[in-house]
Amino acid sequence: MATLGLSEAERESIERFQRDVVEPSMTSLVILDFWAEWCGPCKQLSPVLDKVAEDYAGKGVKLAKIDVDQEKMLASQFRIQSIPTVYAIHKGQPVADLTNYRSEGQIKKALDQLIAQLKIEPGGATPQAEIEPLIAMAEQVLADGDAVRAVSIFRQVQDMAPDNAEVTGGLVRALIAAGETAEAKTILDGLPDELGKKPEISRAKAALEVATAPKADTAALESRLAANPDDHDARFELANARMAEGDRDGAADALLDIIARDRDWNEGAARQRFLQLLEAQGLADPWSSAQRRRLSALLFT
């Protein structure tokens, strides 16, 4: 915005705009509200915007207001013809016109879409692009079997991104692999509801369920099955015991055997346990994909 030939008041106005709108918008989403003291609809909308800005402060959203009577030059630059006029500003540019959204629900829905599309990070959060390589490294270390080192890496990344579900889920799975199931459970139990619903956390919960499956005397269970192959209770206990031993193939085989013999046994308990085993492994994992094909072959042939 050119400043040549401007009055001192206009220069100050531009400086305030730069400080309160442009600079914050470089990393945040700024709600810019054009209003006036005499404007009735402005007074109705103002507390709604205040409430939304307060609720979304932790999501990287800020609120700035411009009195069109006091800041005539800025209003002219934005070609404001009626008020209230509300824009969303990011990186110094308008990215959405929020003027027609007057209720809290409408505004929040629009902001949620913008935050997702523009990848707005919460204030002070480490950008996702910076932590993704570290997450990938920790996952690789975990996959290679060094659970203790994976825990250490995930802890360091969590210090950078404490509310990242991918990081928290990875830390929990690493702790489980390292035998620290008590700490893993404590972390999961302490998560806020919103974070606890994320798929990365669901996978961690499934991993904990699998890891804490009850152990049993597998020899005795196999003897029961030799005497009665349709003893589904024994086969289900055997699947749990295989899980507890870390034998995912043995667990999957036992559960699929139950499904093949009686897919509705115990209200589909074997199928539910089987899907939990896949989720713990990771649904995108090649092993899980192969097991899903085995399940589909049973169910649809």
At 8-36, the pLDDT tens digits run 877 888 888 999 999 988 888 999 999 99
Cα distances (angstroms) measured from residue 170 to each of 97, 137, 286: 39, 11, 18
Q: What's the CA gap between 179 and 177, in Å, rounded?
A: 5
Q: What's the CA gap between 298 and 251, in Å, rounded?
A: 16
Across 183-195, average pLDDT? 92
Q: For the whole model, what pTM was predicted?
A: 0.59
pLDDT for position 5: 59
- Distance, C-alpha 41 to centroid of its chain: 36
pLDDT for position 124: 54
- Evaluate whether 191 touches 201 at the Cβ level (below 8 Å): yes
Cα distances (angstroms) measured from residue 44 to each of 40, 53, 97, 104: 7, 15, 18, 12
Give the pLDDT confidence of 217-247 residue by residue, as tens digits.
Answer: 999 999 999 999 999 999 999 999 999 888 9
- 128 band by pLDDT with thresholds 50, 70 and 90: low
- 2 band by pLDDT with thresholds 50, 70 and 90: very low
pLDDT for position 125: 58
The catalytic residue positions are 39, 42
- Evaluate whether 29 touches 70 at the Cβ level (below 8 Å): no
Q: What's the CA gap between 70 and 73, in Å, rounded?
A: 9
How many percent of the chain have pLDDT more than 90? 71
Say if residue 163's pLDDT is above 70: yes
- Evaluate whether 236 touches 266 at the Cβ level (below 8 Å): yes
- Side chain identity at residue 147, one-letter code: A
Using H for helix, E for strand and C for coil, what is the string for the chain?
CCCCCCCHHHHHHHHHHHHHHHHHHCCCEEEEEEECCCCHHHHHHHHHHHHHHHHCHHHCEEEEEEECCCCHHHHHHCCCCCCCEEEEEECCEEEEECCCCCCHHHHHHHHHHHHHHHCCCCCCCCCHHHHHHHHHHHHHHHHCCCHHHHHHHHHHHHHHCCCCHHHHHHHHHHHHHCCCHHHHHHHHHCCCHHHHCCHHHHHHHHHHHHHCCCCCCHHHHHHHHHHCCCCHHHHHHHHHHHHHHCCHHHHHHHHHHHHHHCCCHHHCHHHHHHHHHHHHHCCCCHHHHHHHHHHHHHHHC
